[in-house]
Amino acid sequence: MTVLLRTSGVSRLALIIGPLAILVTGCAGVGGVPERAAHIPVNREAPEPETPEVEPAPRLDRETEPVEVEPTLDPDEEIRITRDGAILTALRNNQTLDVVRFGPRLAAQGVPEARGRFDPSLMGTTSYGKQRDQLGGVQQFTFGAAGVPGAGEDAGALELLTQLPGSDPRTAASGILGFLAQQAGQPPREVDLEREITSGALGFFSEQLAPGRPDYLETEMTMGNLRLSNYFPTGTSVFLSGGLTRTESNFIPTEYDGDWSVGINQALLRGRGTDVNLVDLRKAQHEVTKSAFELEEFLLEFISRVEQAYWGLALAQEVLAIREFAVELADEQLQRAKDLVEVGRAVEGAVLSARAEKASREAELHRARGEVRNATIGLLRLMNAPEETGWEWTLKPEDKPEVQRVDVDRLESEQLAQHYRPDLRQLMLDSEIRDLDVLAARNAMLPELDLFAEYGLTSLGDDLGGGFRHLGETRYYDYNVGFEFNVPLLSRAERARHRRAELASQQTMRRLVDEGQQARTEVRQALNDVQAEWQSIEASELAVESREEELQIE
């Protein structure tokens, strides 16, 4: 258990190597990632527990270098290795660890991806179009196709033209409008128009009612537009757009229409505020931190595996030495039995018994050699030995196991487990993520109510400069202000998603409480194992002393 190893060799090395390995693998380069998630309480109804004081990890007694696992090493050469050297070598070369290191870097890409929602965007549009329409309605009447009963096709136009000559523009305008009213079956109305407007109207009709009118209306339009927009975490959208349109027709002279406008849209209900709009960004940051905890959990487990493999190899070699010594003793016993039979002080059965004992010891020796080889292969796998020659290497552990009594406090160990175990901290982040899902689902249940406003200026001319001439003035403008409202009548899908998010949040909280209880259980079981092992060690020491005395007597 991690909490029990904090004063042992592997825990000291883990506290030194673990954060260093995380930094080396790229976690240090992730922006906006909190270092710890210990600020998240395990139980929201209970106050946050105080951080237990932890003694600083002692430095290594000596400089330890990893083993250079190169294919050029002689397979027959015995490689001496320490426990720390094996761990450092595995941390540097293990392929599984190299794969896991990508986790935090992959998760870190979600942060700029979520921030990209608030990046400005520039959109451009350019187009060309041509349209040919059949004359009808007001256009047809204007060209004279709406004839007067009893007259030809151009009778309406000719009658209108008879009203145009005249020195007074007001009289001409009144005549035009009177003719239009007559065609519509309404009594004529008196009008009072400004001279310049009347003159422009008369000039327009004079040009369009000339002989040789077209049989169709053809329009060509070329348009270009740019739009710069941005969305902010407050739920506000702003834009700035501008463009130029060129219109050419056989009915009116070529026109250049320029415009620019600025607008804003503010969400008042759904999507309002930073709490809702930053949900994806905060979830991405939690995922990065969670990935770092996953790497930390793997590192702790990996270091424990390497240390167990190292001590497993050391134990296998000790057992091998014992089996070799047992074979030597069995051989001496067999030789002694033979000598006793030769002098007549033992029967032949003693030789057979000694020979069987030697064969049994030799079988145990072969098994011990196989265990040593298996332990060596397991450690070489963790150290990523070369495929060509690495599997034939012979490793010689130099460190010997040390027995050191450690007094462990149960309450302190439980607090350390609750505060530092990576699996619990991942669950804490999962709980925070589920809460963000609830917030987003609750926001989706609100109706859409947006306030929008837009203001723009326009310019119209018969040349390219005319399309830009009045864009800096406020003479020709347009604005628009209003509200936009949209709400589903039933909202069954939104309510279902909200309920699902709440249930997932409650499930995560129950799981966090359960895992916290499991962590305390594991700590207590580990403490019991430690006490049982110390009692076993004391009993084994007494047994060894008794065997040594027995050996001396023999």
> Among 41-45, 72-76, 419-423, which stretch is predicted with the lowest mean pLDDT?
41-45
CATH number of the domain to which 60 belongs: 1.20.1600.10
C-beta separation of 205 from 176 below 8 A: yes
Measured CA to CA, the distance from residue 545 to residue 486 in angstroms comes to: 88
pLDDT band at 531 (very low <50, low <70, confident <90, very high): confident
Nearest to 299 by CA among 97, 102, 83, 30: 97
Q: Looking at the structure, do residues 70 and 186 belong to the same domain, yes or no?
A: no
| CB contact burial 323-349 (16+ within 10 A = b; e otherwise) | beebbeebbebbeebeeebeeeebeee
Report the pLDDT averaged over residues 91-106.
89
528 contacts: CB under 8 Å, gap ≥ 6 = none
Report the pLDDT averaged over residues 109-129.
93
* Contacts within 8 Å (CB) and 24+ apart, 336-341: none
Q: Which residues pair with 123 in a beta bridge?
A: 227
Q: Looking at the structure, do residues 82 and 184 belong to the same domain, yes or no?
A: no
Q: Looking at the structure, do residues 110 and 147 belong to the same domain, yes or no?
A: no
Q: Looking at the structure, do residues 377 and 517 belong to the same domain, yes or no?
A: yes
C-beta separation of 341 from 347 below 8 A: yes
Residue 148 lies in a domain: yes
Report the pLDDT averaged over residues 256-267.
93
Q: Looking at the structure, do residues 184 and 311 belong to the same domain, yes or no?
A: no
Q: Looking at the structure, do residues 104 and 153 belong to the same domain, yes or no?
A: no
Residue 264 lies in a domain: no
Residue 152 lies in a domain: yes
Strand 216-231 relative to strand 255-267, pairing = unpaired
Q: Is the pTM of this model over 0.85?
A: no
Measured CA to CA, the distance from residue 503 to residue 507 in angstroms comes to: 6
- The answer to whether the Cα torsion of 454, 457, 458, 464 is positive or negative is negative
Report the pLDDT averaged over residues 14-25.
38
- Coil, strand or helix at 163: coil
H or E segment and range at residue 451: strand 448-461
Residue 234 lies in a domain: no
Residue 126 lies in a domain: no
Q: Looking at the structure, do residues 343 and 426 belong to the same domain, yes or no?
A: yes
Question: What integer pLDDT is reported at residue 415 of this predicted model?
Answer: 87
CB hemisphere CA count around 5 (13 angstroms): 17
Q: Looking at the structure, do residues 48 and 172 belong to the same domain, yes or no?
A: no
Residue 371 has pLDDT above 90, yes or no: yes
Number of domains in the chain: 2
* Full domain range(s) for residue 527: 9-118+276-394+409-447+487-553
Q: Looking at the structure, do residues 338 and 429 belong to the same domain, yes or no?
A: yes
CB hemisphere CA count around 67 (13 angstroms): 30
CA dist 398 → 74, 91, 326, 526, 551 (Å) = 19, 19, 23, 28, 29
C-beta separation of 292 from 23 below 8 A: no
Residue 474 has pLDDT above 70, yes or no: yes
Q: Looking at the structure, do residues 189 and 142 belong to the same domain, yes or no?
A: yes
H or E segment and range at residue 285: helix 279-342
Domain boundary among 213, 232, 265: 213
Give the 3-state secondary structure percentages of the chain, helix then strand then coil, rounded to 5. Answer: 55, 15, 30
Domain boundary among 195, 213, 231: 213
Residue 451 has pLDDT above 70, yes or no: yes
Report the pLDDT averaged over residues 338-344.
80
Residue 24 lies in a domain: yes
Q: Looking at the structure, do residues 112 and 169 belong to the same domain, yes or no?
A: no
Q: Looking at the structure, do residues 440 and 372 belong to the same domain, yes or no?
A: yes
Residue 197 lies in a domain: yes
C-beta separation of 172 from 198 below 8 A: yes
Domain boundary among 193, 213, 233: 213
Q: What percent of the chain has pLDDT over 70?
A: 71
Residue 176 has pLDDT above 70, yes or no: no
Report the pLDDT averaged over residues 63-80.
68
Q: Which residues pair with 497 in a beta bridge?
A: none
Residue 250 lies in a domain: no
